[in-house]
């Protein structure tokens, strides 16, 4: 059973039609956690993030954020999706793209207040992009764009930041800088990072969960071969799930 935390998931099941996508997921995310989630394609990682956001309603189970249903508490979450689809020729600069993240506070038709601009400036400074504020976002590199998208998420002043494959289009040099930014942000909020890059996230995150419809999680960043085998559907002898060890003897297909 997951313990109380910033985010609490209890026995979450998600089905597409009759096909289970998530099976019995229980997880607690604490303030200032830096949790990495790994697993194969199609294992439910993005679906799990959308359940936390309240964008997908579970077939079974309960999700709460700060003790409230996720749909009512979405304002506490910043989200950077895997694919930011936008017209690269659209004439919007970095400054206005980031300010759009304040719509939750200002509303779509209200003018930005001095406070909104102050928060946007601080967010751009945090990700090292303030000097780019007047540039068209579509002209930036993939790594620079990801920094802007994080700044846009930060201006909502979230308690939790969800990142879905944020370094997929970022070169290796900028990846190191990117993860260093996340280390700083962890002092202000909890972070959940979905990635295929096991080696990179094992350096930076505090905890790692392996997800392939079921969640294999043991509250630390140590990944045993057994957990990886279980996640990637190979024979497994022993895993640790939550705080209670479980022995699994059957082979996974």
Query: For position 41, which CATH number holds?
Result: 3.40.50.300
Which of 114, 42, 50 is closest to 77 using CA atoms? 50
Quote the domain boundaries for residue 180. 7-85+159-247
At 59 the pLDDT is 95
Question: Is residue 251 over pLDDT 60?
Answer: no
At 203 the pLDDT is 79
> Residue 141: inside a domain, yes or no?
no
Question: Is residue 250 over pLDDT 70?
Answer: no
**What are the structure tokens assigned to 228, written together?**
């990886």
Between 108 and 35, the more confident residue is 35
> Residue 223: inside a domain, yes or no?
yes
Section 209-218 average pLDDT: 83
Question: Is residue 228 over pLDDT 70?
Answer: no
CA atoms within 13 Å, Cβ hemisphere of 203 = 9
> Residue 207: inside a domain, yes or no?
yes
At 86 the pLDDT is 62
Between 148 and 196, the more confident residue is 148
> Residue 119: inside a domain, yes or no?
no
Section 199-225 average pLDDT: 76
Provide the pLDDT confidence category of residue 3 given band limits of 50, 70 and 90: very low
pTM: 0.81
CB atoms within 10 A of CB 124: 23
> Residue 164: inside a domain, yes or no?
yes
Section 104-119 average pLDDT: 78
Question: Is residue 34 over pLDDT 60?
Answer: yes
> Residue 203: inside a domain, yes or no?
yes
> Residue 175: inside a domain, yes or no?
yes
Domain count of the fold of the chain: 1
> Residue 101: inside a domain, yes or no?
no
Q: CA-CA distances (angstroms) from residue 192 to 21, 31, 160?
A: 19, 11, 8
Section 33-56 average pLDDT: 91
């Amino acid at each position: 059973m997951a313990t109380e935390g910033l985010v609490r998931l209890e026995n979450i099941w998600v089905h597409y039609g009759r096909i289970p996508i998530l099976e019995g997921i229980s997880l607690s995310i604490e303030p200032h956690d830096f949790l990495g989630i790994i697993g194969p394609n199609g294992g439910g990682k993005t679906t799990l993030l959308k359940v936390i956001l309240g964008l997908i309603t579970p077939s079974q189970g309960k999700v709460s954020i700060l003790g409230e249903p996720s749909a009512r508490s979405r304002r506490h979450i910043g989200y950077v999706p895997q694919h930011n689809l936008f017209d690269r020729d659209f004439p919007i600069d970095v400054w206005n793209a980031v300010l759009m993240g304040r719509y939750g506070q200002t509303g779509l038709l209200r003018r930005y207040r001095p406070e909104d601009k102050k928060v946007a400036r601080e967010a751009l400074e945090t990700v090292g992009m303030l000097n780019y504020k007047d540039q068209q976002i579509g002209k930036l590199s993939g790594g620079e764009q990801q920094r802007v998208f994080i700044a846009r998420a930060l201006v909502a002043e979230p308690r939790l930041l969800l990142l879905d494959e944020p370094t997929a289009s970022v070169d290796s040099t900028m990846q190191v800088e990117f993860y260093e930014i996340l280390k700083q942000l962890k002092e202000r909020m909890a972070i959940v990072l979905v990635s295929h890059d096991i080696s990179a996230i094992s350096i930076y995150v505090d905890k790692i969960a392996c997800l392939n419809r079921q969640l294999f999680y043991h509250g630390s960043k140590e990944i045993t071969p057994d957990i990886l085998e279980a996640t990637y559907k190979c024979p497994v002898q022993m895993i640790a799930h939550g705080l209670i060890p479980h022995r699994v003897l059957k082979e996974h297909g």
